[in-house]
């Protein structure tokens, strides 16, 4: 016998707005945040160059948690430098393919990647069309050159500055939806 208490199908398929009872609605309205939406247009968020062969489409900045989200586009076969993570990352491959020189797997569209603090690795794509990777990232990323010399830290402040500098230089309005 199946336990009827356990939901194994959605409880409603009604195509309607349901007014969910929330005992803390008033508190939420005073103190709560708001979800955001970034459409696919470059008006919502432009592709900002990241070196010669890559661009970043910024999607979210959360300064309290040092969280940043974006789509990284590597346009043709190439390398994004070796980096060391101080936080957790999740990524999904959207187009093309990508891998790390340090691991034995290749991410194709739909592939899901998690990275943890303390990992250091070198991102490459060998796909003729490069790759697009959606990422939700927490914590600083330290970049190193090929001689293992530290170059720069990219954290939420770096990502905000990357986005805002490009917008300023190109007369693109800053989109408040990026700030969560």
- Whether residue 93 contacts residue 108, with contact meaning beta carbons closer than 8 Å, is answered with yes
CA distance readout (Å), 92 to 10, 17, 65, 95, 118? 26, 31, 21, 9, 20
Beta bridge partners of residue 23, listed in sequence order: none
How far apart are CB 12 and Fe ion at their closest, in Å?
Answer: 41
Which parts of 47-149 are beta strand (E)?
A: 47-49, 54-62, 67-74, 78-85, 89-96, 99-100, 112-115, 120-125, 131-138, 141-144
By beta-carbon proximity to Fe ion, the closer residue of 84 and 108 is: 84
By beta-carbon proximity to Fe ion, the closer residue of 99 and 175 is: 99
Residue number, nearest CB to Fe ion: 115
CA distance readout (Å), 37 to 73, 167, 180? 20, 18, 10
How far apart are CB 135 and Fe ion at their closest, in Å?
Answer: 9
Using CB under 5 A as the criterion, which residues of the chain lie in contact with Fe ion when the complex forms? 115
How far apart are CB 120 and Fe ion at their closest, in Å?
Answer: 8
How far apart are CB 163 and Fe ion at their closest, in Å?
Answer: 20
By beta-carbon proximity to Fe ion, the closer residue of 100 and 163 is: 100
By beta-carbon proximity to Fe ion, the closer residue of 115 and 155 is: 115
């Amino acid at each position: 016998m199946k336990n009827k208490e356990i939901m194994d199908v959605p409880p409603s398929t009604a195509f309607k707005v349901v007014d969910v009872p929330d005992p803390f609605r008033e508190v939420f309205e005073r103190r709560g945040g708001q979800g955001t939406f970034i459409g696919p247009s470059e008006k919502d968020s432009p592709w900002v160059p990241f070196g010669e062969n890559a661009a970043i489409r910024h999607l979210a900045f959360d300064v309290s948690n040092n969280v940043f989200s974006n789509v990284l586009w590597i346009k043709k076969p190439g390398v994004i430098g070796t980096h060391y993570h101080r936080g957790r990352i999740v990524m999904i491959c959207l187009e093309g393919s990508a891998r790390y020189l340090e691991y034995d797997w290749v991410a194709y569209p739909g592939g899901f990647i998690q990275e943890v603090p303390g990992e250091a690795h070198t991102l490459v794509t060998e796909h003729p069309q490069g790759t697009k990777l959606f990422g939700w990232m927490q914590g600083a990323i330290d970049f190193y050159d090929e001689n293992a010399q530290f170059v720069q830290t990219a954290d939420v402040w770096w990502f905000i500055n990357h986005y805002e500098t490009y917008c300023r230089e190109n007369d693109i309005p800053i989109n408040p939806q990026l700030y969560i």
